[in-house]
């Protein structure tokens, strides 16, 4: 093993990679700017849209109720809604999003209420449409408040205390530490998913460029005519792919840490656990642990990418093989985010899923040392096999000179 | 010195079955000589030269290049060889100087020797003007000079050229031809493949005609003329190759 030769190849590949726009964008620009854009930018945009919609006074079309001035007065008195007269085609107007919501008051509503008759009020909205949902919510709250007033009036009329309506209160309290709650676990799983995805994505372009790209440009024959052994050559190339994958993972974790700190400082809590919000943050220890666990995973990804890409004749052909692999990689990472999927001895041996599940725990500060040992060892073993196969692939003439 | 001993290379093709790209080829190329390997497209020239440069491994037979066996010591063989072909391109994102230095380091040169060699070659080939320019910004002529510098940086005793003028304009091709002559004059062993008769007549001391992977005849130009009763090299070539000639298959 000549470390000198591996170092020569690595330095040359690094120099070329730093001059390659595609590598710089995939490994540096995307991880650095994706999270601030997603968490701060996108979060702020969504927050501003929701706030604006909530503060607006949506038009509410009241169908019927001409003979029930009391309920109409209650609706008109509701803050931040604008009651408008009903049009004959009010249902079409809701469906076409011309008005956000309509309410149907049955004939003789006030009289019915007075004689304690069971009545039905219908609210018509466009489900899933933000403006319509918020308007329906306001309308619902207004009608419920009116109903409560009616009930209170009846209780008072019968000379009963108001407390008769609420014999006891029920409250639910979370006693798990907020930083280890279900929402925090979901947040940890999300970080694991992002690290896995970017680790794979960061190494993909260099892996293709250094193998199929070389064949396509005709430099493969040039380098094969030099005295360097093929195993040294593939090690040098592998180290560069690994560097970009790890750089992407490291930059993404740093960028996430900074972005979430920024979001927290702006008090924009976007994930809710029951009634309690959680602060999204990654500590230095957690970030370091995630990065260390990402190393064997990056070795595995880099080796597989080199092996697959070296089989291809052209850059495009290699992309055809590697892009579908992204889905194979992210499925276990997404599975790790699902509630109820937790680390077990069996799952600790499933590549990608094991690291994702572990990272989820690491982010919230839980260290299962037995699982950490199993996962680190098994991922290193898979990575070693993949690297061995990549080296073998690079020594096959039928692969290097495939036509 | 290059000595090919019953060199053979077989490939397996799904459609055509076993292909004998190089079939029992033996010849000797001596220092201070240019050995020309003349053949049609698909005759086996490139495979033969790739076997000598240890880019491919022989199925049977062997070759000794500068005293090293291509099967037993491929890395030592490559360290003794400068290999230039139409397919040996340059790294687009490296400068001309970085490209040459990279190959110097891979050939084991220390930094002081490397600097001296690079300066010497860049001066000799008049490359100083574009030494810091990236290879993807070089003209065809500049690229060829950089490729030549890359093959020369470790001062190899054996030079292998696989159709080096293919696709080049007249002026660039002349530069390459001049460089090949210079290698011979410096006492290097030179082997050169082509399908262009005029290049063989201008350059080669010994000519071998290859077809279907077999070396059909070899000798000096005078010996070939006498042996085959023709003065014109093209006529000799057709006479030798015709019995075995098959149209090369489309790739």
CATH code, A100:
3.40.1710.10
- A205 chain-B contacts, CB cut-off 8 A: none
Residues B208, B168 within the same domain: yes
Interface contact B107-A19, CB threshold 8 A = no
Name the range with the highest mean pLDDT among A51-65, A112-126, B73-87, B110-124: B110-124
Going by pLDDT thresholds of 50, 70 and 90, the confidence category of residue A344 is confident
Indicate whether A189 pLDDT > 80.
Answer: no
Residue B146 maps to a domain: yes
What is the arithmetic mean of pLDDT over A250-259?
81
Minimal Cβ distance to B75: which of A219, A227, A397: A227
Residue A165 maps to a domain: no
Both tokens of A325, joined, read: 């692999």
Residues B111, B230 within the same domain: no
Indicate whether A75 pLDDT > 80.
Answer: yes
Determine which of A263-272, A293-302, B113-122 has the lowest per-residue pLDDT on average. Answer: A263-272
Last residue of a domain, one of B155, B177, B193: B155
Indicate whether A270 pLDDT > 50.
Answer: no
Residues A205, A121 within the same domain: no
Q: Give A369→chain B minimum CA distance, Å.
A: 44
Residue A325 maps to a domain: yes
Minimal Cβ distance to A20: which of B56, B93, B102: B93
Please report the pLDDT score of residue B135 as a whole number.
95
Residues A382, A240 within the same domain: yes
Residues A151, A104 within the same domain: yes
Interface contact B102-A12, CB threshold 8 A = yes
Please report the pLDDT score of residue A252 as a whole number.
82
Distance CA A312, CA A299 (A): 20
Chain A residues contacting B, CB < 8 Å?
Answer: 5, 8-9, 12, 15-16, 19-20, 217-219, 221-222, 224-229, 397, 401, 403
What is the arithmetic mean of pLDDT over B207-213?
93
Any alpha helices (H) in A117-218, and if so which ranges?
130-157, 182-209, 212-217
Determine which of A5-14, A371-380, B62-71 has the lowest per-residue pLDDT on average. Answer: A371-380
Task: Assign residue B167 the CATH number of its domain.
Answer: 3.40.50.300
Please report the pLDDT score of residue B87 as a whole number.
62
Residue among A269, A275, A277 at smallest CA distance from A171: A275
Residues B120, B11 within the same domain: no
Both tokens of A129, joined, read: 């449409």
Residue A173 maps to a domain: no
Q: Which residue in chain B is spatially nearest to A403 when comparing CA positions?
A: B251
Beta bridge partners of B206: B35
Residues B70, B179 within the same domain: yes
Indicate whether A387 pLDDT > 80.
Answer: yes
Residue B16 maps to a domain: yes
Indicate whether B251 pLDDT > 60.
Answer: no
Residues B112, B96 within the same domain: yes
Indicate whether B245 pLDDT > 80.
Answer: no
Interface contact B91-A219, CB threshold 8 A = yes
Q: What is the number of other CB atoms lying within 10 angstroms of the CB of residue A51?
A: 10
Residue B148 maps to a domain: yes
- B249 chain-A contacts, CB cut-off 8 A: none
Please report the pLDDT score of residue A341 as a whole number.
82
Average pLDDT, chain A: 85
Both tokens of A149, joined, read: 């007033």
- B90 chain-A contacts, CB cut-off 8 A: 219, 222
Residues B168, B225 within the same domain: yes
Best of B81, B106, B133 to substitute, by most chain A Cβ atoms within 10 angstroms, is B106
Residues B70, B168 within the same domain: yes
Interface contact A227-B107, CB threshold 8 A = yes
What is the arithmetic mean of pLDDT over A276-305?
78
pLDDT tens, position by position, B36-59: 999 998 889 999 999 999 999 999
Q: How many CA atoms lie within 13 A of A324 on its CB side?
A: 6
What is the arithmetic mean of pLDDT over B216-230?
93
Q: Give B215→chain A minimum CA distance, Å.
A: 23
Interface contact A217-B89, CB threshold 8 A = yes
Please report the pLDDT score of residue A198 as a whole number.
85
What is the arithmetic mean of pLDDT over B136-145?
89
Interface contact B78-A227, CB threshold 8 A = yes
pTM: 0.80
How many structural domains compose chain A?
Answer: 2
Minimal Cβ distance to B89: which of A16, A218, A226: A218
- B78 chain-A contacts, CB cut-off 8 A: 225-227
- A218 chain-B contacts, CB cut-off 8 A: 87-89
Residues B129, B235 within the same domain: no
Both tokens of B225, joined, read: 């003329």
pLDDT tens, position by position, A206-225: 999 999 999 999 899 899 99
pLDDT tens, position by position, A132-176: 998 999 899 999 999 988 988 888 888 888 777 778 888 888 777
> Residue B181 belongs to what domain range?
2-80+158-244
Tracing tokens 């620009």 back to the chain, one arrives at A29
Residues A209, A138 within the same domain: no
Chain B residues contacting A, CB < 8 Å?
Answer: 53, 55-57, 75-76, 78-79, 81, 83, 85, 87-94, 98, 102-103, 105-108, 134, 150, 251
What is the arithmetic mean of pLDDT over A40-45?
75
Residue A395 maps to a domain: yes
- B83 chain-A contacts, CB cut-off 8 A: 225
State the DSSP string of A265-333. Answer: HTT----EETTEE------HHHHHHHHHHHHHHHHHHHHHHHHHHHH-SSHHHHHHHHHHHHHHHHHHH
Interface contact B89-A219, CB threshold 8 A = yes
Residue B232 maps to a domain: yes
Please report the pLDDT score of residue A179 as a whole number.
61
pLDDT tens, position by position, A367-378: 888 888 999 899
Indicate whether A121 pLDDT > 50.
Answer: yes
Distance CA A397, CA A317 (A): 18
Q: Which residue in chain A is spatially nearest to B153 when comparing CA positions?
A: A226
Distance CA B57, CA B7 (A): 10
Any alpha helices (H) in B3-67, and if so which ranges?
45-52
Residue A257 maps to a domain: yes
Residues A22, A62 within the same domain: no
Please report the pLDDT score of residue A27 as a whole number.
83
Distance CA A132, CA B22 (A): 78
Contact (CB, 8 A) for A207 and A303: no
Please report the pLDDT score of residue A271 as a whole number.
44
Contact (CB, 8 A) for A202 and A31: yes
Residue A50 maps to a domain: no
What is the arithmetic mean of pLDDT over A182-188?
68
- B191 chain-A contacts, CB cut-off 8 A: none
Percent of chain B with pLDDT over 70: 96
Residue B250 maps to a domain: no
Indicate whether A273 pLDDT > 70.
Answer: no
> Residue A323 belongs to what domain range?
3-41+179-400
Contact (CB, 8 A) for B106 and A225: no
Please report the pLDDT score of residue A400 as a whole number.
84
Going by pLDDT thresholds of 50, 70 and 90, the confidence category of residue B235 is very high
- A219 chain-B contacts, CB cut-off 8 A: 88-91
Which residues, at least 6 apart from A323, have a Cβ–Cβ distance to it below 8 Å?
none
Estimate to the nearest angstrom the gap between the alpha carbon of A144 and the chain centroid. 36
How many structural domains compose chain B?
Answer: 2
Residues B98, B188 within the same domain: no
């Amino acid at each position: 093993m000549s470390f000198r030769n591996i170092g020569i190849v690595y330095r040359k590949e690094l120099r070329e990679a730093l001059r390659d726009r595609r590598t710089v964008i995939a490994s540096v620009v995307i991880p650095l700017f994706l999270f601030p854009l997603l968490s701060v930018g996108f979060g702020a945009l969504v927050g501003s849209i929701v706030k604006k919609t909530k503060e607006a006074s949506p038009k509410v079309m009241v169908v019927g109720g001409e003979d029930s001035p009391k309920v109409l007065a209650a609706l008109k008195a509701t803050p931040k809604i604008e009651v408008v007269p009903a049009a004959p085609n009010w249902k079409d107007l809701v469906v076409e999003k011309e008005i956000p919501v309509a309410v149907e008051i049955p004939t003789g509503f006030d009289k019915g209420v007075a004689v304690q008759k069971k009545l039905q009020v219908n609210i018509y909205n466009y489900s899933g449409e933000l403006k319509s949902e918020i308007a329906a919510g306001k309308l619902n709250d207004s009608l419920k408040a009116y109903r409560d007033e009616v009930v209170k009036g009846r209780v008072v009329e019968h000379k009963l205390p108001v407390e008769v309506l609420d014999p006891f209160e029920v409250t639910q309290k979370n006693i798990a530490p907020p930083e280890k709650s279900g929402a925090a676990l979901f947040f940890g799983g999300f970080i694991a998913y992002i690290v896995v995805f970017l680790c794979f994505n960061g190494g993909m372009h260099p892996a293709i460029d250094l193998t199929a790209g070389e064949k396509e440009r005709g430099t493969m024959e040039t380098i094969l005519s030099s005295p360097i052994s093929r195993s040294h050559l593939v090690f040098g190339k592998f180290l560069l792919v690994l560097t970009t994958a790890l750089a992407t993972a490291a930059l993404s974790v740093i960028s996430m840490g900074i972005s979430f700190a920024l979001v927290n400082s702006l008090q924009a809590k976007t994930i809710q656990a029951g009634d309690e919000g959680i602060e999204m943050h990654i500590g230095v220890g957690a970030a370091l642990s995630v990065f260390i666990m990402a190393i064997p995973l990056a070795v595995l990804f880099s080796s597989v990418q080199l092996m697959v890409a070296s089989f291809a004749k052209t850059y495009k052909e290699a992309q055809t093989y590697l892009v579908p692999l992204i889905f194979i990689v992210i499925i276990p990472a997404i599975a790790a985010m699902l509630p109820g999927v937790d680390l077990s001895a069996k799952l600790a041996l499933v590549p990608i899923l094991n690291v994702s599940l572990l990272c989820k725990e690491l982010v919230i500060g839980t260290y299962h040392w037995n699982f950490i040992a199993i996962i680190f060892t098994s991922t290193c073993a898979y990575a070693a096999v993949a690297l061995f196969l990549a080296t073998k692939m690079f020594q096959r003439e039928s692969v290097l000179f495939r036509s | 010195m290059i000595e090919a001993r019953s060199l053979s290379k077989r490939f397996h093709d799904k459609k055509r079955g076993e292909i004998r790209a190089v079939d029992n080829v033996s010849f000797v190329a001596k220092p201070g000589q240019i050995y020309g390997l003349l053949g049609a497209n698909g005759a086996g020239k490139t495979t033969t030269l790739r076997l000598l440069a240890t880019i491919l491994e022989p199925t049977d037979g062997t070759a000794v290049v500068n005293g090293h066996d291509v099967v037993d010591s491929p890395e030592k063989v490559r360290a003794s060889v400068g290999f230039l072909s139409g397919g040996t391109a340059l790294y687009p994102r490296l400068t001309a100087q970085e490209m040459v230095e990279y190959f110097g380091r891979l050939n084991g040169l220390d930094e002081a020797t490397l600097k001296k060699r690079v300066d010497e070659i860049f001066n000799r080939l008049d490359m100083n003007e574009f030494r810091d320019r990236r290879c993807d910004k070089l003209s065809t002529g500049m690229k060829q000079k950089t490729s030549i510098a890359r093959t020369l940086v470790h001062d190899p005793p054996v030079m292998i050229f696989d159709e080096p003028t293919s696709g080049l304009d007249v002026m660039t091709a002349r530069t390459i031809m001049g460089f090949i002559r210079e290698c011979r004059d410096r006492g290097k062993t030179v082997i050169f493949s082509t399908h262009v008769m005029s290049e063989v007549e201008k350059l080669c001391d010994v000519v071998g005609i290859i077809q279907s992977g077999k070396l059909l005849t070899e000798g000096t130009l005078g010996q070939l003329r006498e042996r085959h009763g023709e003065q014109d090299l093209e006529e000799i070539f057709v006479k030798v190759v015709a019995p075995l000639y098959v149209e090369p298959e489309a790739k």
